[in-house]
Structure 1
């Protein structure tokens, strides 16, 4: 009758480079799954390119279904996840090592004083000083990540954190060079803080931009799992060192050994990250238009609401991670626990988070980001006072259980979703800067000085823990309110993130 026979409906799409046009009319392009670029946003419907006419061929048997992702196969995705997990672990080994050493030994090595509590406060103050440098690092490396690529920024943060940590092992004590010792420690801590200011957010952005549809939460959780793998490694290094040395040996030279080991980890981390390729999302956006000259200024002007939301969303997990990793060690030491109990508890807690964080990411892919964040905040508030009750029992196993439940339950759940939320609330062109700068300014306000605030609160109540419990509840409430106000993003396009107040 002059009409063409109907083509059979395919059960899976043909790759973009093998499609052909069957009419003269432009047709909406199907979602690209085998190309090196990101999938097109659903709201855009560009016509088929001339490549389709050039490659028009007779019908052939359909090829195997391509992987569901932004131009990546299973092997590439596995390499990305492994690189994010191990790279983050090696960097945060340095960071957690400093926090534990500040609570255990830096007071007597660099800040000798007639009062043990004064030495501890000064030591913890240097831990907080690093947070002052983190927004600077976020701005510097966020700019690099948005203008020159995620990969070079992640390599630079690795080098800065690793070298500054190794140098800390070489600082003479206060008894040898006087005030120069704590000054050198503070300078190196500032450099370490700059590197850490763009590490977690950058690794999260990298993983999420590579993630297949419907699995961004899982991929974003690998950076959180990597952070706590770093905690496990640093805790294991300290546990081994404290077990093999006396208290005097540990204070004299034993604490330096895990810091020196950081030099070896730098080379491993550098080898991992040099093998990475740039994310498809960044390559696509820079092909369409040159990067902005000042991504941060564009971000502040156009996406400030998302920045404010992120600061509230990360308030609790940032604070709790440092409360339970730094303050808890000093609190346990004051209550008669030895160093082995505290470091072993952190090791177990890190292992628990490595399980709960990916589970939280998977749950957020199914139920949404907001419900999972709210669940983590509620858990943290509910466990605030039971945590101190378990520690105050004087039983090492119960104290270790308290650390595992606090970290694995509250911190693990919220950190597992944090990475993907940071990425989804910002556009690709300014995503690295947006995630890093927002998170690190929140780190100054809520996280960096949380151990110092907790020590001061406990001291004001003659060593009682109830003021710290109230502090934990308040921080959990901030994140709970922010999660309630935030938009739900788990079904949004990564190229068109949602911002502003909740819309559902």
Structure 2
């Protein structure tokens, strides 16, 4: 039997580059989203008492969750700024700058005095830093997905696009584990007084590691090729105004992306933030809530790349639609399980919700974001579309959930209907979106540049909607 030929040096080098890209995207996303998810956990468990004391526990919780939503207001701003940088100067500098912005703002949160010490200045500083944190988050997920997809082999774009989603939920595992460890090592009074600050302080160390990984990367081949093409055409820049070009020629794709991210963005925060408050009201300890987030994070780390792999085989749209259907079907069972007196069932409920619905939709989201926009406007298009969707659907999801439940006397059924409505929006948007799996990235790039905004049916033979 003939021996397999040894891999050529070029092939070995390419595999090494792809492994380094995958590792940097995974680790960088994990460390950056550690910051963002850490805030959500603290908003549900601590900030209501530290920064928003009130005679009404519900009002304190609502105010605390409202600051969680404030971060989403800044995300489109970050998407515009860093998307512009990413399209004009490169994906790498945009991702490095976003990582630094989030790390510094999160670390500074650890040193904010309480409301008891400086009064209203305490929540004001918290909101300001949350805005800065949100601006950094506005560029992270889309940028990481684009970086992976633009480096990926043509038949593995779905898998590489899902690496950022796995990294994001690795950040959820890290942040939840940090809170869980801190609560285990401190009393309730100590955690409330100073213990919660320790995971925020740790951010500066983690961000330093992420910076080291990202600074070692080269720029993506797709961006470098676009720069060269611009020089050959004697253009000054890859795109003089990426956002303006985007809004003029690809507004339909912007609307489709906003709809496709509605359910995964909103439900991820319903099941991360509101679910903690819901389980606490059902009698579960904070440790049960944070343990459920650790399980949920591991679940998404598993299902997201599987969803990306499935999208490489069967298409982006079928996988997204399957995730939306599961999200709607699981809406009421989630609250039955999470509201039970059994802590294991409550933990399982969150794990299934995140892994079975959010993980599937997030796993295919990254490659969809990259494939629907041309290279010269890809970062701006993906980030802007996603983060406007985050403002509309995601940021206020925990606040809306608490409000709906309170209006119904504490019942969970209005939140279940809310979940079903979000899943329906994503299903319709995914149904109307073109299937892009079978096209090379450079072909999709040319089509997106030439596509008139009002002639989506001419997407170079791509199907629009289910035929």
Q: Equivalences for 1:263-412 in 2 at 5 Å?
A: 263-289=204-230, 290-412=237-359
Output the CA distance in 2 between the equivalents of 1:185 and 1:66. Answer: 50
8 Å contact from structure 1 (residues 348, 404) kept in 2: yes
Which residue of the partner structure matches residue 261 of structure 1? 202
Output the CA distance in 2 between the equivalents of 1:384 and 1:165. Answer: 32
Deviation of the 1:322 alpha carbon: 0.5
Deviation of the 1:66 alpha carbon: 6.0
* CA offset digits 1:326-372 (Å, max 9, x no partner): 00001111111101000000001100110100000000000000000
Output the CA distance in 2 between the equivalents of 1:66 and 1:384. Answer: 49
* 1:130 equivalenced with 2:77 (yes/no): no
* CA offset digits 1:169-194 (Å, max 9, x no partner): 00000000000000000000000000
8 Å contact from structure 1 (residues 427, 496) kept in 2: no
8 Å contact from structure 1 (residues 151, 276) kept in 2: yes
SS of 1:490's equivalent in the other structure is coil
8 Å contact from structure 1 (residues 146, 291) kept in 2: yes
* Between structures 1 and 2, the one with greater helix share: 2
SS of 1:488's equivalent in the other structure is coil
Output the CA distance in 1 between the equivalents of 2:434 and 2:134. Answer: 31
Output the CA distance in 1 between the equivalents of 2:410 and 2:169. Answer: 29
Q: Which residue of 102, 113, 123 corresponds with 1:182? A: 123
Which residue of the partner structure matches residue 421 of structure 1? 368
8 Å contact from structure 2 (residues 282, 340) kept in 1: no
Structure 1 unmatched runs, 5+: 1-62
Output the CA distance in 1 between the equivalents of 2:114 and 2:199. Answer: 17
Which residue of the partner structure matches residue 56 of structure 2? 115
Output the CA distance in 2 between the equivalents of 1:372 and 1:270. Answer: 33
Output the CA distance in 1 between the equivalents of 2:363 and 2:8. Answer: 33
Greater length-normalized contact order (CA 8 Å, ≥ 6 residues apart): 2
* CA offset digits 1:112-140 (Å, max 9, x no partner): 10101100000000000000000000000
Output the CA distance in 1 between the equivalents of 2:436 and 2:184. Answer: 47
**How many residues are aligned here?**
441
Deviation of the 1:217 alpha carbon: 0.1
Which residue of the partner structure matches residue 100 of structure 2? 159
* 1:143 equivalenced with 2:90 (yes/no): no
Q: Which residue of 472, 484, 488 corresponds with 2:435? A: 488
Deviation of the 1:393 alpha carbon: 1.4
SS of 2:399's equivalent in the other structure is helix
Deviation of the 1:491 alpha carbon: 1.1
Deviation of the 1:148 alpha carbon: 0.2
Deviation of the 1:495 alpha carbon: 2.2
Which residue of the partner structure matches residue 112 of structure 2? 171
8 Å contact from structure 2 (residues 85, 93) kept in 1: yes
8 Å contact from structure 1 (residues 83, 273) kept in 2: yes
Which residue of the partner structure matches residue 140 of structure 2? 199
* CA offset digits 1:53-89 (Å, max 9, x no partner): xxxxxxxxxx959649xxx710000000000000000
* CA offset digits 1:200-235 (Å, max 9, x no partner): 000000000000010000000000000000000000
* 1:88 equivalenced with 2:29 (yes/no): yes
Which residue of the partner structure matches residue 252 of structure 1? 193
Output the CA distance in 1 between the equivalents of 2:240 and 2:429. Answer: 31
With normalisation by structure 2, the TM-score equals 0.93
8 Å contact from structure 1 (residues 427, 494) kept in 2: no
Output the CA distance in 2 between the equivalents of 1:129 and 1:393. Answer: 32
Output the CA distance in 2 between the equivalents of 1:371 and 1:189. Answer: 36
8 Å contact from structure 2 (residues 154, 440) kept in 1: no
Q: After the TM superposition, which parts of structure 1 deviate over 2 Å for at least 4 consecutive aligned residues?
A: 63-68, 495-504
Which residue of the partner structure matches residue 4 of structure 2? none
Structure 2 unmatched runs, 5+: 1-6, 231-236, 449-455, 458-462
Output the CA distance in 2 between the equivalents of 1:143 and 1:492. Answer: 26
Q: Which residue of 419, 425, 442 corresponds with 1:478? A: 425
SS of 1:441's equivalent in the other structure is helix
Output the CA distance in 2 between the equivalents of 1:393 and 1:82. Answer: 39
Which has the greater radius of gyration? 1
Output the CA distance in 2 between the equivalents of 1:323 and 1:245. Answer: 28
8 Å contact from structure 2 (residues 269, 398) kept in 1: yes
